Amino acid sequence: MKLFNYFWLKFVKVKTENPAALHFILQDDIFLLNQDRGAYSATALPTEQSVTQPEPVVIVETKPIEFNYLGGNKKNFLITVHYPGIDFMADAHLTALQNTLKRLGFELDDVAILNLAEYIEVDHETILNFFNPKKMLLMGANALPKDTASLKLNEQQTKGNCAMLLSFSFDEMMDNNEYKKAFWEQMKLL
């Protein structure tokens, strides 16, 4: 029947104002041969609508990094250290740091102590955005975050609105009075 309708349409040459109206005259589906497809416009003939599925949108949510740090960071004073295998700092070093902070009028709740051994790939900008420090003490060369601009040892520098001090690690200072003295002199200025 469909083939008959095709030939009937082709050879009888039914004239209508709108070829889309042919489906009212012919009850069966109308199929065109490939060579005849160019003779009819796509808008004039009803066609089977192919539903194209839109490309799936992949939404990648980057979860903001959460840091495990010691202290309350109430005075926006960030101290970075490097102690592999320890959550924060060695106990003897933490005691020495707390004593230094007390002499300067700070409590553990005023600062944030971040062990960078746990966050090797985190860059300097990410750390600054998270902690928003006004003061930053970097305890040793290994306590420098990734992509930190070069800092001079035991010389306070200001980056943006943050006073930064790169000093010795406690491993370097514990048995060296010269290093302790240089550290203390700079801490009084920070």
Tokens for 42?
A: 């796509």
Q: What is the pLDDT of residue 148?
A: 82
Q: What is the pLDDT of residue 160?
A: 83
Q: What is the pLDDT of residue 109?
A: 95
3-state SS of the chain: helix, strand, coil percent to 5?
A: 35, 15, 50
Identify the structural domains of the chain with CATH numbers, from first to last.
2-39 (no CATH), 77-189 (3.40.470.10)
CA–CA dist 181, 175 (Å, integer) = 12
- What is the full per-residue pLDDT of the chain (190 aa) written as tens digits? 454 555 555 545 555 556 666 566 666 666 666 776 666 555 555 555 566 777 887 777 767 788 999 999 999 999 999 999 998 999 999 999 999 999 999 999 999 999 999 898 888 899 999 999 999 999 999 999 888 878 889 899 988 889 999 999 999 988 899 999 999 999 988 8
Alpha helices in the chain (DSSP H): 2-12, 22-25, 91-103, 124-131, 170-173, 177-189
At 59, give phi and psi (nearest 5°).
-100, 120
Q: What is the pLDDT of residue 134?
A: 96
